[in-house]
A = this chain, B = another copy of it.
Amino acid sequence: MGASLEDVRAANLSLVLRHILVQPGTISRAAIATQAGITRATVSRLADELVSAGLVHELAPSSETGRGRPGIPLGPRPGMAIGLGLEINISYISACAIDLTGEVLSLKTIHGDFAGTKPDAVMADVAELGGRVLAAAQAKSPVDNPLFVGSGLALPGLVSSDALMLAPNLGWRDLPMASLLGPLTPLDPVVVANEADLAAFAVANPRPGVPNGPASFIYVSGEVGIGAGIIINHNPLSGAHGWSGEIGHICVDPAGPTCSCGASGCLEAYLGLRALASNAGMPEGSTADEIVEAAHRGSLRAQAAIADGGAALGRALAAVVNTVDIPEIILGGIVASIGDDLLPAVRDELRARVLQSAWSNPEVRIAGNPANLAVIGAAHRTLERLVVDPIIWTARPD
């Protein structure tokens, strides 16, 4: 479609808001103008618009002394715009509400075993949980009528825009979006995406609208299944249908064990939680921590299982890096808990197999805070919609 003058204003409004979010409470209109390359006059007009919409407010002048008239620091108004994140995973469902400052206003998790459950019942539970979290957030917010931006739903599976195709470990399949999201209608609009992709989004955007995280990285997430979210130059790589990052079924050894997907030697057949436990000679249902503990206590089988898993992960990641050229890998989920023991094997494989390794060998590190990353990412994603196009929200009826 053709561009119009309104698009210019929308783009600049978003730009101003972004600059405020990046340096909340410390940046003045004039500073935004110089940093963003717009006139002070224009910034002033746009900033006033954000202020009068309530998204941004003026703070008390900082004591920081300087020459000339001191600027008025701008910052996001706490509790004004609320995004809701929802997550369904194998062993829990959870919901969290976050505002534009990035503060988690409310976060609740219900543990349980959701493998093989009925989608509509679980969705109703999630809707109820989300409603409670939203209510708690609104109650906590200092703002009278907070703006509910919408919700994001993280699922462990292949999600396209019109249906959930497959969530193998939940046992869910071929659910049209409309019926799946039915129970969530009070929380509309809902954005649905893969859990690993949203966790990666959270890493890339430590606060809503602030792409301060690493520019390009692979976030590896996993419990029973292994998935990944890929960010390239601050942009999520979602693929043609939104099904990117399914690294759990990369073939690591064609002579390897049969995977639950039917193929042989998938990464998941080495590093998935069930496979890992079985390879370590431990009872089904063992946790990652128990396996690590067994290895540290001297179990040779556990040590071998972890070493094999690390080599498998390294080989799979080498394929990914050769394919999409990414300089950093962040391990999350259960992979993070085993991480320290996996790292040597992973790094060895990467060094040997990545063509670019002599110039830019990918760094591998363990996520600092893997807990709740996916729900948080889901909430950030809904807020991102506001940051990208604040013009919708600034034109409020009054």
Q: Which residues of B contact A324 (CB under 8 A)?
A: 230, 237, 239, 244, 323-324
Interchain CB contact under 8 A, B3 and A322: no
Q: Which residues of B contact A38 (CB under 8 A)?
A: 2
Q: Which residues of B contact A366 (CB under 8 A)?
A: none
Q: Which residues of B contact A319 (CB under 8 A)?
A: 250-251, 316, 319-320, 323
Interchain CB contact under 8 A, A325 and B263: no
Question: Which residues of A from 282 to 341 have beta carbons under 8 Å from B?
Answer: 311, 315-316, 318-320, 322-327
Determine which of B5, B158, B252, B360 lies in contact with A356 in the assembled complex, contact meaning CB atoms within 8 Å. Answer: B158
In the complex, what's the smallest C-beta–C-beta distance from A322 to chain B, in angstroms? 4
Indicate if A68 sits at the interface (CB-CB under 8 A). Answer: no
- Other than the given A241-B360, A244-B323, A247-B323, 18 more pairs (CB < 8 A) read A166-B355, A166-B359, A237-B324, A239-B326, A240-B325, A240-B326, A240-B327, A243-B325, A244-B324, A244-B325, A246-B322, A247-B322, A249-B318, A250-B318, A251-B353, A253-B253, A255-B255, A319-B323
- The docked-state distance in angstroms from the alpha carbon of A323 to that of B353 is 17
Interchain CB contact under 8 A, A240 and B251: no
Indicate if A165 sits at the interface (CB-CB under 8 A). Answer: yes
Determine which of B230, B263, B354, B359 lies in contact with A353 in the assembled complex, contact meaning CB atoms within 8 Å. Answer: B263
> Of A228, A237, A322, which is in contact with the most chain B CB atoms at under 10 Å from its CB?
A322
- The docked-state distance in angstroms from the alpha carbon of A250 to that of B233 is 23
Indicate if A12 sits at the interface (CB-CB under 8 A). Answer: yes
Question: Which residues of A from 1 to 28 have beta carbons under 8 Å from B?
Answer: 1-5, 7-8, 11-12, 15
Interchain CB contact under 8 A, B252 and A254: yes
Query: Copies of this chain, how many?
Result: 2
Residue of B nearest to A262 (CB): B352
Q: Which residues of B contact A316 (CB under 8 A)?
A: 319
Chain A 172-214: CB-based contact to B (< 8 A → 1; otherwise 0): 0000000000000000000000000000000000000000000
Interchain CB contact under 8 A, A263 and B11: no
Indicate if A216 sits at the interface (CB-CB under 8 A). Answer: yes
In the complex, what's the smallest C-beta–C-beta distance from A180 to chain B, in angstroms? 16
Q: List 10 A-B contacts (CB under 8 A).
A: A228-B323, A232-B237, A237-B237, A245-B323, A246-B323, A248-B355, A251-B319, A253-B254, A255-B255, A319-B323
Chain A 341-376: CB-based contact to B (< 8 A → 1; otherwise 0): 000000000001111101110000000000000000
Residue of B nearest to A318 (CB): B251
Chain A 210-223: CB-based contact to B (< 8 A → 1; otherwise 0): 00000110000000
Indicate if A42 sits at the interface (CB-CB under 8 A). Answer: yes
- The docked-state distance in angstroms from the alpha carbon of A249 to that of B253 is 15
> Of A166, A238, A251, A327, which is in contact with the most chain B CB atoms at under 10 Å from its CB?
A251
- The docked-state distance in angstroms from the alpha carbon of A215 to that of B239 is 11
Interchain CB contact under 8 A, A355 and B325: no
Q: Which residues of B contact A249 (CB under 8 A)?
A: 318, 322, 353-355
Indicate if A61 sits at the interface (CB-CB under 8 A). Answer: no
Interchain CB contact under 8 A, A356 and B165: yes
- The docked-state distance in angstroms from the alpha carbon of A12 to that of B8 is 13
Indicate if A397 sits at the interface (CB-CB under 8 A). Answer: no
Q: Which residues of B contact A356 (CB under 8 A)?
A: 158, 165-166, 241, 243, 246
> Of A38, A158, A248, A249, which is in contact with the most chain B CB atoms at under 10 Å from its CB?
A249
- The docked-state distance in angstroms from the alpha carbon of A325 to that of B230 is 12
The 9 closest A-B pairs by CB, nearest first: A239-B325, A2-B38, A216-B240, A3-B11, A243-B325, A250-B319, A244-B325, A246-B322, A319-B319
Q: Which residues of B contact A352 (CB under 8 A)?
A: 262-263
- The docked-state distance in angstroms from the alpha carbon of A248 to that of B38 is 47
Interchain CB contact under 8 A, A37 and B239: no
- The docked-state distance in angstroms from the alpha carbon of A145 to that of B132 is 71
